[in-house]
Structure 1
């Protein structure tokens, strides 16, 4: 089902030498049952070497028609969207949200394919989870279960300015290992498709090109920051859920960045603790990387060099403009 090739180039080799992370490209060989414009051809996706053990299982995973899939490129508002969607699908059950970790309520589909931790049994957990399931994934179309397209599961896709995404992704990457890679080197990895889930630009384009399909809801992180109430309303309508003004106001308070960051069930710190153990990194509660850092728009201006900003903008314009997508080009 996949053609798999180990990556060897300056950026990939540098990452492997510095961090011990080997990379592969996976290219789907089967016909993916999704209606997408003929002008688009599926591209390879960069993933850690370990992922190939699970790739076929993920592609053949049996989905349910009432599954809700939250799909993003990493660090594009995934956790925020997961919590919003789970709450809308579960009658705003604040008690359950505040007592059960989000990654147990909304399972990270391909986690076992990223990090070799035997104790994670996410597929088994998903198979035993009651419907409707709210499932998190960062996979592009070519790596997702084929059943998603046959059964027309609802997909909520969120994207974010690549410059802010890169800064946030870099801090997470550095916070988990911690790594020896500089932010300029990390930018180079993203621009040359030598980081897990790359290419960001192909990832966004695929879902933008199918955004008009009835089972797809497409919006941006910036949309959420600008008018969360409107996004809640749009998502409620998409999910065929109806809430009062008072209930929506309560949900907005629950979804505030300050509340999410302070919430032990939403801030993913337990997840970071497990990853530190996997990579044999000492976990210090006070000094540990915070999964939810700042949540701001335009923060990249403080951390990226002008050269990096210009290169990312040029890549975005070059990738998006031919398809009529006018996002994040400047």
Structure 2
């Protein structure tokens, strides 16, 4: 499905005072789905995960599910992650059935852990009013573009496109300043000090996963002992994540590959898990073009990439 320009029924003016009429919003699921999500019933004890695609979403999902469900590692290893913590947009993308698009989420017992890639203005209106816990994760755009490429090929897309060409297409798509991706992240970055929002980055998780786990436990009012922490650090290591079939989205991949019926590469969903891995895969020319695109967006907001990634100035990007 191609992305469609959509218009939500209302904007989160109670959160951000901005000229929303200038905010270009697109969603591959279309206007009908946007309207259904806008009217969705949000529970007070919901926990939401919002990210751009391939920004550490799976990593933070597994972390959050374990914290919410009292570090039940046996249960986590027994059921697919995307069943335990569903992707808001997935059912409609697969079945195109508006009437049942949210059935999986509505059937979940509380507390629900819900994932979405939708921007702030397209999320449920009750989210802005009830303000349940929400976790946002960002990642260096150069890394998430590389990760998106391999993810797309795993679904049978981009089969005639190499990585450098894919990156150039991303640069062209993000040529408008501010780009959709940067509007997505900066809206949540501006809200990062709200008590109901926890804002972090893939890079912070790589630097100090223990600290992020401790901070999230405090955010969710959960306690963790040293034995549980050691199990978390082991379970959430990329060596373990990579070989764990329950977090590699096989349940989703089977349905998407069946739907699109195209040849695909069998790339592991958890592929490298490396910060700065783009340096090994993108040409110097492409990196320079990406740096230019990123910097034009950062200049628009008066921010640095280190600020968006919550890193100090000495960390190399």
TM-score, length basis structure 2? 0.88
> Is 1:250 equivalent to 2:228 in the alignment?
no
> Is 1:270 equivalent to 2:251 in the alignment?
yes
Partner of residue 156, structure 1: 135
Spell out the pairing of 1:214-253 with structure 2 (5 A cutoff).
214-253=195-234
Deviation at 1:37, TM superposition (A): 4.6
> Is 1:92 equivalent to 2:90 in the alignment?
no
SS of equivalent residue, structure 1 residue 211:
coil
Aligned length: 304
> Is 1:288 equivalent to 2:266 in the alignment?
yes
Deviation at 1:89, TM superposition (A): 0.5
Q: 1:189 to 1:237 in 2, by over 3 A?
A: same
Partners of 1:269 and 1:28 in 2: CA distance: 32
| 2:52 equivalent among 67, 73, 94 | 73
> Is 1:184 equivalent to 2:164 in the alignment?
yes
Partners of 2:275 and 2:257 in 1: CA distance: 28
Deviation at 1:326, TM superposition (A): 1.7
Contact 1:190 1:199 in 2 (8 A): no
Deviation at 1:308, TM superposition (A): 2.0
Spell out the pairing of 1:167-178 with structure 2 (5 A cutoff).
167-178=146-157
Contact 2:9 2:38 in 1 (8 A): no
SS of equivalent residue, structure 1 residue 114:
helix
Partner of residue 314, structure 2: none
SS of equivalent residue, structure 2 residue 305:
coil
SS of equivalent residue, structure 1 residue 190:
helix
Q: 1:34 to 1:101 in 2, by over 3 A?
A: farther
Partner of residue 11, structure 1: none
Post-superposition CA distance 1:188-208 (Å, at most 9, x none): 44334379xx72111111100
Deviation at 1:258, TM superposition (A): 1.4
Which one is further off, 119-128 or 244-253?
Answer: 119-128
SS of equivalent residue, structure 2 residue 262:
coil
Q: 1:142 to 1:261 in 2, by over 3 A?
A: same
Deviation at 1:274, TM superposition (A): 1.6
CA RMSD of superposed structures (Å):
2.5
Partner of residue 44, structure 1: 24
Partner of residue 165, structure 1: 144
| 1:138 equivalent among 94, 110, 117 | 117
| 2:294 equivalent among 300, 316, 322 | 316
TM-score, length basis structure 1? 0.84
Post-superposition CA distance 1:255-295 (Å, at most 9, x none): 11111121121111232122111111367xxx622111111
